[in-house]
Structure 1
Amino acid sequence: MEISASDVKELREATGAGLMECKKALIEANGDKAEAAKILKEKGLAAVEKRAERATSEGRIFVRKLDNKVVFVELTCETDFVAKNTDFIALGEILLDVTIEKGLTSVTEDHKKLLEDLQIKIRENMSVRNVIVVDIPAGCAGASYVHSDFKTASCVVIKGSDAEVVKTFAYDCCLHLAAFTPAYITKEDVPESFINEQKEIFKAQMDNDPKMAAKPDNVKEGILAGKIKKLLAESCFVDQMFVKDDKVSVAAKLAQVSKEAGAELSFATTKLIVLGK
């Protein structure tokens, strides 16, 4: 049967498929546009399956803060070009909408189904790698931040007060997390295995330095302890120098803000999300 150019154009606009693919689908469907769209989708999904093993190392982190929670959706794709695509960005916002409306707290089939149409249209593997929901209890101050490249995001919830000064500090802490990406929050979070491994590295470095190797054992032990202390201060969020005031640590700044707010403050949640990690 003869397929008109207008029918092909209409199907292409509806599905995003190529002109020849649309024409072939219309011929196969005997001119039925709904059936042709179904054929294209089935073929597109089959192609998506073939691409499922391709690495998705690019993408964006989408964040939305509500009064009582912060929602993160990590949407990945194969290329940076697609990560900047307006349809891809719109899809991320839709994924946030669905997550919030349905009260979802992890990746579900609802998320995966929403990817199908864009995967077929763009012909690139995509995945919802992470869905994270952080609660902000009543009387707590919460803040979120996403970096300009949309590949790093953070969230901080401080309990004890929801005063403006505390909210501002929570936001600044989000900036700090994104800027310094600390491996741990406090020293108590650091595994003993990590400390032991670093001790072995520092000991080997000292043994290979003739001047250091000649020092008495008690001196070397003191130097080793100092190196570990410095490493922990650099690796732990609360011990790092605060991003907005490098003369005080995050913990010291928290104490200052506690006095300003007239409340005993503490970190309830500190969350750092880095794309693909």
Structure 2
Amino acid sequence: MANYTAADIKALREATGAGMMDVKKALDEADGDSVKATEILRIKGQKGVTKREGRTTSNGLVTAATDGGVGTLVEVLCETDFVAKAPRFIELADKVLAQAVKVGATDADSLLASTLEDGQTVQELLDEANATIGEKIEVKRLARIEGPTVVSYLHKTSPDLPAQIGVLFASEGGDDAVARDVAMHVAAFSPTVMTREEIDADVVENERRVAEATAREEGKPEAALPKIIEGRVNGYFKENVLLEQAFAKDPKKSVAKVLDEHGAAAKQFVRFRVGA
């Protein structure tokens, strides 16, 4: 019988992120030698990397960093929530974010192709983690924005998981407090655009057609249709356009109104939700 303890199993699991049965098998094969067991896990794990390429990654985390007028937001995905909350995975995501900031990456592809200090690329780092942890791991999205003021906000949808929603918000004027309030609003109300002008004209026209058809189905008077249609289209804007949404902390005011009262102007935002 291999010479190892429950503490050895725990230590190797924490170091590699691998499953318990895989760790026990590796320790058995290595006769309790944790260094050899780690190598066994890597070798066997690498054989399964290709097989895992088609798997679905619907769990993971978002992480962000801001430095002066630059913000970086990264989404790192895995297959299960068990791995998502493991220290090994969280440390990996932190390393990926640090590299994104260092090289000024603007998208996932450029980040994955960048080279770390040890000579391996970020993609190779993920493949190695894929091998030891035993799950498909990928950088799904990356965003980088700039502005006079850039703040980030990370939100946990479950207390035992890392952040699942991440926001970057760039503004000019005002202060960090109002900028952070707006970032928190974006996390909660998930606007899709900053202004109504950014919404495709075909989308607006379709909303108008739906509003008219619905009003007619409800038997609304013909004379009232234009006003009803316009009201419902404006309602669509208020649901999707950041500056027209009712502000989370004061629903009687729009986000635009709150920013204006603080002498601030919105410049850009981005919002990621894990798996969305």
TM-score (norm: length of structure 1) = 0.79
Q: Computing the radius of gyration over CA atoms, which structure comes out larger, 1 or 2?
A: 1
Alignment equivalent of 2:126, drawn from 115, 136, 146: 115
Task: Map 1:23-34; keep pairs closer than 5 Å.
Answer: 24=29
State the Cα distance separating 1:24 from its structure 2 match: 4.7
Question: Residue 186 of structure 2 corresponds to which residue in structure 1?
Answer: 177
Counterpart for residue 147 of structure 1? 155
* Distance change (3 Å), C-alpha of 1:273 and 1:52: same
**Hey, what does 2:66 align to over in structure 1?**
65
Matches within 5 A, 1:1-16: 5=3, 13=12
Instruction: Answer yes or no: is the 8 Å Cα contact 1:22–1:40 preserved in 2.
Output: no
Asked if 1:225 corresponds to 2:230, the answer is yes
Matches for 1:131-146 after TM superposition, within 5 Å: 131-136=142-147, 140-146=148-154
Of 197, 201, 210, the residue aligned with 1:192 is 201
1:129 to 135, 140, 163: 140
Bigger CA drift: 89-98 or 170-179? 89-98
The answer on whether the counterparts of 1:25 and 1:37 sit within 8 Å (CA) in structure 2 is no
Q: Residues 201-212 of structure 1 correspond to what in structure 2 (within 5 A)? A: 201-210=210-219, 212=220
The residue matched to 2:48 in structure 1 has which SS?
helix
Query: How many residues are matched?
Result: 249
CA contact (8 A) 1:56 1:78 kept: yes
Q: Secondary structure at the match of 1:18?
A: helix
Alpha-carbon distance, 1:152 to partner: 1.1
Secondary structure of the corresponding residue to residue 105 of structure 2? coil
Distance in structure 2 (CA, Å) of the matches to 1:234 and 1:267: 17
User: Take 1:267 and 1:174, find their aligned partners in 2: how far apart are those partners?
Assistant: 11
Q: Taking CA–CA contacts closer than 8 Å with sequence separation of 6 or more, which of the two structures ends up with the larger relative contact order? A: 2
1-structure distance, mates of 2:41, 2:245 = 54
1:97-143 CA distance string (max 9 Å, x none): 2222333332213322222333222211111111222224xxx2221
Mapped partners of 1:38, 1:85: distance in 2? 20
Give 1:257 deviation, angstroms. 0.9
Asked whether 1:55 is paired with 2:60, we answer no
| Letter paired with 1:133 | R
Please say if residues 107 and 142 of structure 2, whose CA atoms lie closer than 8 Å, have aligned partners that are also in contact: yes
Change (3 A) 1:40 1:246: closer
8 Å CA contact 1:57, 1:276 repeated in 2: yes
Provide the rounded CA distance (Å) in 1 between the counterparts of 2:81 and 2:143. 23
Q: CA deviation at 1:49?
A: 1.3
C-alpha distance in 1, partners of 2:258/2:224? 33
Partner of 1:248: 253
Matched-pair identity in %: 25
The DSSP-based 3-state class of the residue aligned with 2:194 is coil
The one-letter amino acid of 2:179's match is A
- Supply the distance in 1 between the matched residues of 2:182 and 2:62 (Cα, whole angstroms): 18
Task: Give the Å deviation of 1:180.
Answer: 0.5
1:7-33 Cα offsets, whole Å, 9 max, x none, are xx79x947655343455579xxxx9x7
C-alpha change, 1:37 and 1:81, in structure 2 (3 Å) is closer
- Partner secondary structure for residue 135 of structure 2: coil
User: Equivalents in 2 of 1:198, 1:59: separation in Å?
Assistant: 34
Contact 1:111 1:128 in 2 (8 A): no
Q: CA offset at residue 5 of structure 1? A: 4.1
Q: 2:118 is matched with which residue? A: none
Change (3 A) 1:4 1:247: closer
Closer/same/farther in 2, CA of residues 125 and 256 from structure 1, 3 Å limit: same
The residue number in structure 2 matching 1:273 is: 272
